[in-house]
Structure 1
């Protein structure tokens, strides 16, 4: 029996949202890394694709944007859904020169100077949000804390008027966390429709915000079409909120499940927080997979990948590869080095990485300062998505920290 045949049942399980809702796809990835790290999956509901589970091959693919293109989509889509509407139109789903133009326009907003200007806002918002939760004594951490701060920041960057933000919060929460696919889809359509109106407004009256920047981007001598700008705004909203929310909530649950690590972080926050955040990102790996399409014949892990073949990189598996991480199934807030791939690598490395880390740090700082004890107030619920890995809900009971002095 070939390695490909051995891997097929495991790949099929990884294409089932129930695997992630149960919370332990790691056994499947471990078996695939050992038996068939580069394995072909025949087309059925999804198109045929090569499944990559080892760190080395995944890093090779992500770093070689010339041989492995992003322009046809970066997520597995059922064949019935057709092509990704963002293909070759958004920052994440484009190759140079379009990707270069879009990234150049956006990257300045995430420069250290702008992030330093945000630090007071981040600290104040985190402090007030956590204080309110501690005062009540309980919180639904995913929606009430982990989603709140990044959404406030992205709304500020996009220049969404204060009076519109409650609607964006409602739609975003439904788009990410609603119980049914229909509810999530309807909320997403509301977001797209909202951005269409906002982009037209900013083209007429530009402001000092990312929507105005995107509305003014020119490619090959012409402004980006309205739909392209709308899709990029939507991607910034999703990318700037979803991954932070999932990493923050999954990381907090890991600290709850590993009280010794929580104690380490609380005892020496300044010395430990940066490595703790990297470990939270590795541990949660909120983007379960990312896809690329081969532009030429190439060999990966002893297998011949043909031009046009789809390649699926299981990022969560790469971040548990024992060839690169000592005791990869241990959660260690002092882990170093920690060269995880949770936020990608190469030319498509997440443009908002430093902002995401600052947001997580702000919430962790307030939790270590304000919370004396935290415990579950119910059963956490996981998402049943094959796209993102993490929690739909994390109900907590909180007691205030003892006053000092």
Structure 2
């Protein structure tokens, strides 16, 4: 089989699944060629992927966490931006940044999430016919912008520029978008240092992180705060948007599962959330760089080799998930890795689950039937992938 995971059209057509299935069965640690580059490893089996995620000794995140990363741009933020940091800096940053998403905090945030979801779904049902992506993107955007106390007039721009920063057509476009976000948060941070509130930016601006000296702490630098506000925006926006839209499509294509979910009521929602996350897995791959000679799945990996971990493949691994190619809202256990694994488990995983829980609860309460009005379209990214257009009709519950 031809294996070209750098071909964007493969993802735009949604035709990468059989390629990954072939790799799992025949070449689970595959050496992938690269035009004008040294190539990289593709790891496709669940067990091997989880093993690399958990191996902090042999694999690093600080040299980039996606294919086509700009080495210069990564170097500028490494060890200061959570997703491209290794311990101990990663550990110290995550302890501060994660406070806002702790379980105790989420109980308060839950009221905001439920209100946002109810408003968005009510508006969508009243519209009747719509591109569901227009609704899906509002949920995480409105929640995270509220948590950061970003002015309401800026919310739409923030959502659009965040998508451009991580899904732009080329590195130049993505870099320019990141620059705009950094500038925006630099100005916002300056204001919050002078006029602090209770929002995420204010709290991080006045918190302290540990250093390499035992018992010593210091404030976060402006760069650490700005870079990680960018990361929080991306994580919050991309997962829920693509998972909620992908979940709707899966329920339309599997009407028996829509029936099961509605019949199960609120008690059925948590398992359905996990299956939607397993099925849609917006974070297609993550990358690590080998720090020393090692092996993955019995294959020798050299120092400096780039190793890509294909979460989408792990979530369809037949040895872990019975009937892996079937969407089943009652699936249990469901040990998907849509949020990664190990120390780099996504900071916003709890918030994303809360948003999807509120979304599926609201959907089953407000919507009787969902009908496609056209072909779904997908984006052309091998990094953050999902539905880019989903025209449909919503029929309200009588």
TM-score (norm 2): 0.91
> Are the counterparts in 1 of residues 96 and 209 from structure 2 also a CA contact under 8 Å?
no
> Are the counterparts in 2 of residues 297 and 305 from structure 1 also a CA contact under 8 Å?
yes
243, 261, 277: which one pairs with 1:247?
Answer: 243
User: How many Å separate the matches in 2 of 1:15 and 1:62?
Assistant: 22
323, 327, 332: which one pairs with 1:336?
Answer: 332
Q: Deviations over 1:65-101 (max 9, x none)?
A: 2221111111111679774643222111111111111
User: How many Å separate the matches in 2 of 1:253 and 1:316?
Assistant: 17
**Cα displacement (A) at 1:139:** 2.3
SS at match of 2:77: coil
> Are the counterparts in 2 of residues 72 and 88 from structure 1 also a CA contact under 8 Å?
no
| Structure 2 counterpart of 1:326 | 322
Asked whether 1:286 is paired with 2:298, we answer no
In structure 2, stretches of 5+ residues that fail to align are 212-216
User: How many Å separate the matches in 2 of 1:113 and 1:385?
Assistant: 35
> Are the counterparts in 1 of residues 117 and 358 from structure 2 also a CA contact under 8 Å?
yes
Comparing 149-158 with 81-90, which one deviates more in the overlay? 81-90
> Are the counterparts in 2 of residues 47 and 79 from structure 1 also a CA contact under 8 Å?
no
Comparing 235-244 with 35-44, which one deviates more in the overlay? 35-44
Q: Deviations over 1:190-228 (max 9, x none)?
A: 323211211222233333222234334456465444333
Q: Structure 1 residues 325 and 309 mapped into 2: Cα distance closer, same or farther (>3 Å)?
A: same
**Cα displacement (A) at 1:132:** 1.3
Q: Structure 1 residues 223 and 111 mapped into 2: Cα distance closer, same or farther (>3 Å)?
A: closer
In structure 1, stretches of 5+ residues that fail to align are 1-5
User: How many Å separate the matches in 2 of 1:177 and 1:42?
Assistant: 23
> Are the counterparts in 1 of residues 60 and 290 from structure 2 also a CA contact under 8 Å?
yes
User: How many Å separate the matches in 2 of 1:174 and 1:306?
Assistant: 34
Asked whether 1:387 is paired with 2:377, we answer no
SS at match of 1:355: helix
**Cα displacement (A) at 1:27:** 0.5
**Cα displacement (A) at 1:327:** 1.1
Q: Structure 1 residues 84 and 54 mapped into 2: Cα distance closer, same or farther (>3 Å)?
A: farther
Asked whether 1:93 is paired with 2:84, we answer yes
| Structure 2 counterpart of 1:105 | 96
Q: Structure 1 residues 385 and 258 mapped into 2: Cα distance closer, same or farther (>3 Å)?
A: same
SS at match of 1:207: coil
User: How many Å separate the matches in 2 of 1:177 and 1:137?
Assistant: 29
> Are the counterparts in 2 of residues 105 and 213 from structure 1 also a CA contact under 8 Å?
no
TM-score (norm 1): 0.90
Q: Structure 1 residues 79 and 45 mapped into 2: Cα distance closer, same or farther (>3 Å)?
A: farther
SS at match of 1:75: coil
Q: Deviations over 1:226-285 (max 9, x none)?
A: 333221111100111111111111111111110100111011122321111111111111
180, 196, 199: which one pairs with 2:186?
Answer: 196
Q: What value does the CA root-mean-square deviation take over the aligned residues?
A: 2.4
> Are the counterparts in 2 of residues 279 and 333 from structure 1 also a CA contact under 8 Å?
yes
Q: Structure 1 residues 298 and 139 mapped into 2: Cα distance closer, same or farther (>3 Å)?
A: same
| Structure 2 counterpart of 1:27 | 18
Asked whether 1:257 is paired with 2:248, we answer no
Q: Structure 1 residues 107 and 238 mapped into 2: Cα distance closer, same or farther (>3 Å)?
A: same
| Structure 1 counterpart of 2:392 | 396
> Are the counterparts in 1 of residues 43 and 310 from structure 2 also a CA contact under 8 Å?
yes
Aligned residues: 392
**Cα displacement (A) at 1:44:** 2.6
Q: Deviations over 1:313-371 (max 9, x none)?
A: 01100111111111111111111111011111111111221211110111111211111
| Structure 2 counterpart of 1:3 | none
> Are the counterparts in 2 of residues 143 and 173 from structure 1 also a CA contact under 8 Å?
no
User: How many Å separate the matches in 2 of 1:356 and 1:186?
Assistant: 27
Asked whether 1:40 is paired with 2:50, we answer no
202, 206, 213: which one pairs with 2:196?
Answer: 206
Comparing 220-229 with 173-182, which one deviates more in the overlay? 173-182
| Structure 2 counterpart of 1:313 | 309
**Cα displacement (A) at 1:108:** 1.5
Asked whether 1:157 is paired with 2:153, we answer no
> Are the counterparts in 1 of residues 29 and 44 from structure 2 also a CA contact under 8 Å?
yes
**Cα displacement (A) at 1:184:** 6.4
**Cα displacement (A) at 1:178:** 7.8
Comparing 211-220 with 278-287, which one deviates more in the overlay? 211-220
> Are the counterparts in 2 of residues 42 and 49 from structure 1 also a CA contact under 8 Å?
yes
SS at match of 2:84: coil
User: How many Å separate the matches in 2 of 1:88 and 1:60?
Assistant: 22
SS at match of 1:92: helix
105, 121, 132: which one pairs with 2:123?
Answer: 132
> Are the counterparts in 2 of residues 192 and 231 from structure 1 also a CA contact under 8 Å?
yes
| Structure 2 counterpart of 1:302 | 298
- After TM superposition, the structure 1 = structure 2 runs for residues 222-233 of structure 1, keeping only pairs within 5 Å, are 223-233=219-229
Q: Structure 1 residues 175 and 249 mapped into 2: Cα distance closer, same or farther (>3 Å)?
A: farther
User: How many Å separate the matches in 2 of 1:78 and 1:218?
Assistant: 28
